[in-house]
Amino acid sequence: MRWNKFRLKTLTAAEDIVISSLADAGVEGVEIEDKVPLTEQDKQQMFVDILPDGPADDGIAYLSFYLEEDADKEAILKRVREELDDLRRFMDIGAGTIEESQTEDKDWINNWKQYFHQFYVDDILIIPSWEEMKPEDRDKMVIHIDPGTAFGTGMHETTQLCMRQLKKYVTEDTQLLDVGTGSGILSIVALKLGARHALGTDLDPCAISAAKENLEANQIPEGAMDVMIGNIIDDKAVQDAAGYERYDIVTANILADVLVPLTPVIVHQMKKGGIYITSGIIDEKEETVVKAVRAAGLEVVEVTHQGEWVSVTARKV
C-alpha cells in the first residue's frame, strides 16, 4: 500500500499544541524531528551510557504524518490548515508549511530487516524470525529475537557481556531478577540455561508485550518469567512485589548513572552469596560503578570488557 506523507515545519516550542491540533483535525499519529537535547529521564530509559553530541537546538521541529492513498487528503489537509490558522491567532507556530511526498509500507516496516541478521555470541545463536537456521546450528543454543519496541537484540556489546556472565553462574535453581529487562533477552538466555524463574522490571510498558512475544518465540513455558513495570530504585511497592533476599542472580544492563543508585537498593533483593551482573557501562565510568558496588557491601569478583564497554560482576557476601 502506498501512503501520502506530510511533513509540517513548525517550532519546537509549539510542538505539543500543534500535535494536539493535528489530532483535532483527524491525524492519529505524528513523527517528531527536532534537535532538542534529551532530558535526564530520557537518557535513563535509553540503552547507551554516553550519547554523541548532537547538533545545537535551532528551535525548528518537523512533524510528519501519513494518510492512506485512498484517504480524503484534501478534506483532512483543509482541516489541518484551519487548525493552524486558528493557532496563529494567539501564538507563533513558525512557518507552518507542509511538504507532501509518497512512501510505501515497506519503507518503514520491512527495510530495517536488512540490518539485522543471525549472529553468534560464542556458542549461542541469535536469529530473527525471517531467517532460516543452518543445519550445522541445530545443536546450538538458539535464541529467537526480533527487533521491536523494547531494547535488547543481543547485538550490543553490553548485552553480550551479560550473556557470558550468565553462562558462568546460572544453575537449575536460579531465581533471576532482570532490572531493565527490555525485550527480555537476558531472562530468556538464563531460562534457556536452566534457570527456574525470572522476574523482569522495566520503566517502559512496551517491555510486557515484547518479552511475552519473545518468550513465546523461544517456547519458554508460561509462568517461567514475569514482567513488572516500575522503578525498583525508589518505588517501594515494586521492591516489595519483587521480594527481599530472594534472587540468586540480578542482572542490570543499564546506565552507569542508574547503576550507582540502584546497587545499594538491589542488594536487599539478593540472597546471601547472590551474583550481581551489571553492564551498560562505558569504560571511563568503570571505576564509578566499581566504587558503588563496593560501597554497597558487595565483593567484586570479575570485571570484563568488550570494545569500550564494561561489565562488573559482584557477589553478596
Is the pLDDT score of 235 beyond 50? yes
Is the pLDDT score of 315 beyond 50? yes
Reported confidence tier of residue 243, pLDDT bands at 50, 70, 90: very high
Is the pLDDT score of 55 beyond 70? no
User: Count of CB atoms within 10 A of residue 63's CB?
Assistant: 21
HSE-CB of 69 using CA atoms within 13 angstroms = 7
Which of the residue ranges 3-12, 166-175, 187-196, 268-277 would you say has the lowest mean pLDDT?
3-12
Rounded to 5°, angle at Cα 119 from 116 and 121 = 130
Contact 253, 280 (CB under 8 A): yes
Instruction: Tell which wins on pLDDT, 193 or 20.
Output: 193
Percent of the chain's residues with pLDDT above 90: 58
pLDDT of residue 193: 97
Please state the rounded mean pLDDT for residues 173-181.
97
Is the pLDDT score of 245 beyond 50? yes
pLDDT of residue 265: 97
Is the pLDDT score of 45 beyond 50? no
User: Count of CB atoms within 10 A of residue 177's CB?
Assistant: 27
Grid cell of 86 as nine digits = 486558528
DSSP annotation string for 193-208: TT-SEEEEEES-THHH
Cα–Cα distance measured from residue 44 to residue 259, given in angstroms and rounded to the nearest whole number: 10
pTM over 0.85: no
Cα–Cα distance measured from residue 165 to residue 288, given in angstroms and rounded to the nearest whole number: 20
Reported confidence tier of residue 106, pLDDT bands at 50, 70, 90: low
Q: Average pLDDT, whole number, for the chain?
A: 88
User: Count of CB atoms within 10 A of residue 225's CB?
Assistant: 24
pLDDT of residue 130: 85
* pLDDT tens column, 116-126: 788 899 999 99
* pLDDT tens column, 110-153: 666 676 788 899 999 999 888 888 998 988 999 998 876 556 77
Grid cell of 126 as nine digits = 541469535
**Residue appearing with cell numbers 478534506:** 75
* pLDDT tens column, 264-298: 999 999 999 999 999 989 888 999 999 999 999 99
